Amino acid sequence: MFSSIGFPGLILILIIALVIFGPKKLPEIGKAAGQTLKEFKKSANDLTSDMTDEAKEVKGIIKGEERK
């Protein structure tokens, strides 16, 4: 996604964000974005973990039925 932007494009985006939001608000926005991404990643990992646990439980039930 960002591979086609390049370094000059990233600098331009940073300058535009600095002009729009100002130097005082930009760190707050970055912190909020980081916390949002952290929470999203945690939720995704929890969901993946839950699905893995369910799959293991189903496999255990299937193997238990095969032995009968």
How is 1-68 classified by DSSP, letter by letter? -GGGTHHHHHHHHHHHHHHHHHHHHHHHHHHHHHHHHHHHHHHHHHHHHHHHHHHHHHHHHHHHHHH-
CA distance 58 to 40: 27
Percent of the chain surpassing pLDDT 70: 90
- Whether 63 is in a domain gets the answer yes
- Whether 62 is in a domain gets the answer yes
Res 50 pLDDT > 70: yes
- Whether 47 is in a domain gets the answer yes
Work out how many domains the chain is built from and give that number. 1
- Whether 15 is in a domain gets the answer no
Rounded to the nearest integer, the mean pLDDT of the chain is: 86
pTM higher than the cut 0.95: no
Res 10 pLDDT > 90: no
Q: What is the pLDDT of residue 63?
A: 84
- Whether 18 is in a domain gets the answer no
Q: What is the pLDDT of residue 36?
A: 95
Domain containing 37 equals 23-68
Confidence of residue 23 (pLDDT cuts 50, 70, 90): confident
- Whether 8 is in a domain gets the answer no
